[in-house]
Structure 1
Amino acid sequence: MIKTNKISLKTAKKWAKEWRDDEASYNKYFECRAFTIPLNDLKEVIGEGAVAARAYLGVEKTKVEGENVFIEKLMFVGVDKNGKDMITLSKNDAEVLDPDGGDIYDATVPCPEVCDVDSPLNG
């Protein structure tokens, strides 16, 4: 079975809010330059019948050995022919995605960590 990188609506909203709240000062201290995006994950987004994919910026705040660590995220959703995000909410809870479709994907690895050090864009 192929691993999917679906995340919950709650996680996506938290990461996006963290990015918006901290973005002005965040970029002064961190050096995210790019993201590596596995093609299989883009195919999943497009495979939902989307005409495009939309990427949202986010940041995951976690603790490693008692220290705050921030991991940049690029979250993907399908976009329909009307330009709307293809996010389907549960009928029972507006904060939860419907398990039958309309997913949000986190499939990215930020650079630095995974980078092409020889790329002219990474200088």
Structure 2
Amino acid sequence: MEINPSKNEVSCNEAITWTHRWQKENYQRNSAGELIHARAFLIPVDDLLNCLLEMEVLVSEGENIYKLEKSNIREKIRAYMATDRPEETQPSAQTEKLLVVGTNPKIIDDKIVYKDIFDCGGCSCDDKVKTKVLAEQANSDVYDFTKPCPSDCDFSSELNS
């Protein structure tokens, strides 16, 4: 199946301008001299594939054989910035996370709203044990793309200023 080029494609010049702007505006360092914010994330393909499988954009047809489900090709995923560190620990790029979830389109008030495929039974973030148990039982996943730059960087990339 042929896939149409994305309308969201960005030119090289725009990509360079946007990434340099973000990096310039988010260059702060902690007292140890480490960048506080990640510049990029290295995304494992298997996590992305699992997200697409959960959304039924890809359909497994056996071991390492997948079919692209044409009816779902325009679906979307959502990425959340997150931090995994105790409150008393200094912020650093190595503690930043990029969490990705699949979404399902729903019509709400005559608008398409992409709802996260994330169901842990209405649990509260304050109840970590309940959250963990329910999330493990739930029929949804959140994918943790935890290879931040720095240290997993392409220092020769024009996008990495």
TM-score range, shorter chain: 0.5 to 0.7
Higher normalized strand content (fraction of residues): 1
Q: TM-score, normalised by structure 1?
A: 0.64
Aligned length: 94
Indicate if the aligned counterparts of 1:56 and 1:76 stay in contact, CA closer than 8 A. yes
Tell me, in whole angstroms, the C-alpha distance in 2 between the residues paired with 1:58 and 1:67.
15
Tell me, in whole angstroms, the C-alpha distance in 1 between the residues paired with 2:82 and 2:138.
24
Letter in 1 for 2:116: D
Aligned to 1:118: 156
1:74 to 2:59 alignment: no
Aligned to 1:101: 139
Aligned to 1:88: 119
Question: Alignment identity in percent?
Answer: 32
Q: How does 1:11-22 map to 2 (within 5 A)?
A: none
Tell me, in whole angstroms, the C-alpha distance in 1 between the residues paired with 2:27 and 2:79.
18
Larger-Rg structure: 2
Q: How does 1:16-35 map to 2 (within 5 A)?
A: 28-29=28-29, 30-35=36-41
Say if 1:119 and 1:49 are closer, same or farther in 2 by CA, change over 3 A. Answer: same
1:49 to 2:55 alignment: yes
Tell me, in whole angstroms, the C-alpha distance in 2 between the residues paired with 1:100 and 1:89.
6
Q: Which of structures 1 and 2 has the larger relative contact order (alpha carbons within 8 angstroms, sep 6+)?
A: 1
* Alignment root-mean-square deviation, CA: 2.5
Tell me, in whole angstroms, the C-alpha distance in 2 between the residues paired with 1:45 and 1:67.
31
